[in-house]
């Protein structure tokens, strides 16, 4: 049986919606099997394909009742005879607009479908803590600037303005720099003077240090970490490199951690 996913998406209601190109209608007793890549735990869903034709079928699988843990889950089809094969996909499973819309709701888990490097369907499941999702970073005119959107906070994407404070904390000391941030709906813009950053910890200006940015927003109970996870670029620390700037001969460079959280590296 030849089956290929031509369109895959996790809807705002956490339903895995699939469109399949098939050689023949799926047989009764066919299961979708999701297998956790690390633990080997499996979840089975019996498939029904109302309106399936010999060349196409559509499926909808509600993910929340399956009790899927965080991590990556590979998708298989298992026939009534017990034989199974990985589910091939030609859909890259990436739409920045869809990911933005998905992140507007307050959630505990975020589900995302994607195509693996070898061309198979898989799911990525991660914790969905409120965060400030970075979309652009600059160092210009002596300032560090960052823009993005608030993810998984439950705030409305409207014209409402929210009081907000941008903070930079140096990991090695108790130094902190604060500035007023601009938040409208779920969109934010923050800027801080790099002169103030260097001056905030003068005894350590010649020593390499890391500053952790955060955003405190009215209506959100906890400070929001700044990171970049709502895209298709994993491992930004290796793949994304910003040019360094110098303030009073002190080098300053934005970077990402192994978990794709934004940091400001100063000195060294």
Q: CA 91, 96, 102, 106 torsion: positive or negative? A: positive
For the chain, the C-alpha Rg in angstroms (whole number) is 23
Confidence at residue 207, expressed as pLDDT on a 0 to 100 scale: 57
Average the pLDDT over 175-180 and give the result: 93
CA dihedral 200, 202, 207, 213 (to 10 degrees): 0
Q: How confident is the model at residue 198 (pLDDT cuts 50, 70, 90)?
A: confident
CA 53 to chain centre: 35
Question: Across the strands, what pairs with 217?
Answer: 164
pLDDT surpassing 90 at residue 39: yes
What are the two backbone dihedrals, phi and then psi, of residue 5, each rounded to the nearest 5 degrees? -80, 125
For residue 91, what are its two tokens? 């859909």
Residue 152 Rama label (left phi>0; alpha psi -120 to 50; beta):
left
CB 243 within 8 A of CB 226: no
Q: Which helix (H) or strand (E) holds 99?
A: helix 96-102
pLDDT surpassing 60 at residue 50: no
145-155: pLDDT as tens digits: 999 999 999 99
Q: Which residue has the tokens 């469109």?
A: 19
pTM, rounded to two decimals: 0.81
């Amino acid at each position: 049986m030849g089956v290929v996913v031509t369109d895959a998406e996790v809807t705002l209601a956490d339903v895995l919606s699939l469109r399949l190109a098939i050689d023949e209608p799926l047989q009764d007793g066919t299961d979708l099997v999701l297998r956790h890549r690390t633990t080997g735990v499996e979840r089975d869903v019996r498939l029904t394909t109302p309106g399936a034709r010999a060349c196409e079928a559509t499926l909808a699988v509600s993910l929340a009742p399956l009790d899927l843990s965080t991590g990556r889950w590979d998708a298989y089809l298992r026939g009534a005879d017990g034989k199974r094969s990985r589910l091939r996909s030609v859909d890259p499973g990436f739409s920045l607009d869809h990911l933005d819309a998905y992140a507007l709701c307050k959630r505990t888990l975020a589900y995302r479908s994607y195509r693996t490097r070898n061309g198979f369907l898989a799911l990525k499941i991660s914790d969905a803590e409120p965060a400030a999702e970075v979309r652009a970073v600059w160092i210009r005119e002596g300032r560090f600037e960052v823009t993005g959107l608030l993810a998984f906070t439950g705030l409305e994407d409207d014209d409402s303005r929210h009081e907000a404070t941008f903070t930079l904390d140096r990991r090695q000391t108790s130094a902190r720099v604060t500035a007023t941030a601009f938040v409208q709906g779920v969109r934010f813009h923050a800027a801080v003077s790099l002169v103030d950053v260097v001056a905030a910890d003068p005894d350590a200006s010649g020593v390499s240090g890391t500053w952790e940015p955060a955003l405190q927003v009215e209506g959100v109970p906890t400070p929001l970490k700044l990171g970049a996870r709502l895209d298709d670029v994993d491992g930004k620390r290796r793949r994304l490199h910003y040019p360094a700037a110098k303030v009073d001969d002190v080098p300053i460079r934005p970077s990402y951690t192994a978990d794709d959280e934004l940091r400001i590296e100063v000195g060294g």
